[in-house]
Structure 1
Amino acid sequence: MTNIKRELKRRISAVSLGSLAACLLLAPLGASAEDLEVTDARMRLLPGDMPAAGYFRLHNRSEQPVVLVGAQSDAFGSIEMHRSMNHDGMASMEAVPRLELSPDEHIEFAPQGYHLMLMDQVGSLSVGDSVDITLEFEQRDPLTVGFKAVSPTSM
């Protein structure tokens, strides 16, 4: 009877080890949430129906490139990544469909540069409120970050 129990335990252990190996092989590639650091997340509220702007600093602490492809939030109908530029005294803005960060690279979303254009606000927001915005990446899980609402004059 003890030989049967030992054999059964050995087979269960082999199946468990095989299942664990399969799970590890099928796990998504890319950085984990611990490999990304978001700091200074804030959104500048503008009067009326004007879009708000989202600013933050993103640090890729992983050993792999990370590609930011967008963002979404229940507080806004749509969010786009943009970049403000100034060429020969002419200010312009362009949509940015993706932004790659090399290992250990920082990127800052700030006025006069990269920013999130937060459009079609759902409900009312006031200075001091916090809104969850989910950053979306290629080849990795999204990352939800709390953005604090700030006044347009504070930036």
Structure 2
Amino acid sequence: MANKALNVTAQRVTQRLALSALALLLTAGVAQAQTLEVSNAQLSLLPGNTPGAGYFELYNTGDEAVTLVGAKSPAFDSVEIHVSSEHDGMAHMHELTSIEIASGERFEFAPKGHHLMFMRRVEPLNIGDDVDVVLEFSDEQQLPVTFNVVSPASM
């Protein structure tokens, strides 16, 4: 009888430890996701099937740097990270594989600078529509963001 009571107690302790470990893991993931804030997410879109440009501000409130490595949206076949620049009076645009955002840093994605390129629309979109986007980070963190479709003239 004593062995049975000891086994039941051991099982309860093991279950509590397992539940505590699971709660800690889940809380750590939530805390990490809360260290990134996005504001003013806009998708500048021309008529037709031309690529769109995504602009926003990303604020890393966490204690460690994060690295943006990509983005995806069900409304587009492809989303890429790009940067625009000017050299000798000529405008250039290059694809980037990643952008590191230091702890406490605000990183702006803006016209004539860093932006997301939304390519090959899957569905028709109009000014005023919302587009779901997921920002992807090197630590496998994903941050869902809603972009508002705007006219390039408003930028």
State the TM-score, normalizing by the size of structure 2: 0.88
Return 5+ residue gaps in structure 2 as ranges: none
2:57 is matched with: 57
- Tell me the equivalent position of 1:10: 9
**Secondary structure, counterpart of 1:125 in structure 2:** coil
Indicate conservation of the 8 Å contact 1:130/1:149, yes or no. Answer: yes
Q: Which runs of structure 2 are paired with 1:6-155 in the superposition (5 Å)?
A: 7-20=6-19, 23=22, 24=24, 32-155=32-155
Gaps of 5+ in 1: none
Distance 1:121 1:150 in 2: 15
User: What are the Cα deviations for residues 114-142 of structure 1, in whole angstroms up to 9, with x where unaligned?
Assistant: 00000000111010000100000111421
CA contact (8 A) 1:28 1:140 kept: no
Cα distance, 1:91 vs structure 2: 0.9
TM-score, with normalisation over the residues of structure 1?
Answer: 0.88
Q: 2-side partners of 1:7 and 1:100: how far apart? A: 52
Letter in 2 for 1:116: L
- SS of equivalent to 1:74: coil
- Bigger CA drift: 128-137 or 87-96? 87-96
Identity of aligned residues (%): 45
Secondary structure of the 1:126 match is coil
What value does the CA root-mean-square deviation take over the aligned residues?
A: 2.5
CA 1:130–1:26 in 2, change beyond 3 Å: closer, same or farther? closer
Give the AA of the match of 2:68. L
CA distance change for structure 1 residues 25 and 35 in 2, over 3 Å: closer, same or farther?
Answer: closer
Query: For 1:72-129, what per-residue CA distance to the aligned partner results, in whole angstroms no more than 9, with x for missing partners?
Result: 0110010110000012212101101001111111111110000000000011101000
Quote how far apart the aligned CAs of 1:25 are. 7.1
* Count, aligned residues: 154
SS state of the match for residue 16, structure 1?
Answer: helix
Give the SS at the match of 1:32.
Answer: helix
Tell me the distance in 2 between the aligned counterparts of 1:102 and 1:122. Answer: 34
**Stretches of 4+ moved more than 3 A in 1?**
3-6, 20-31
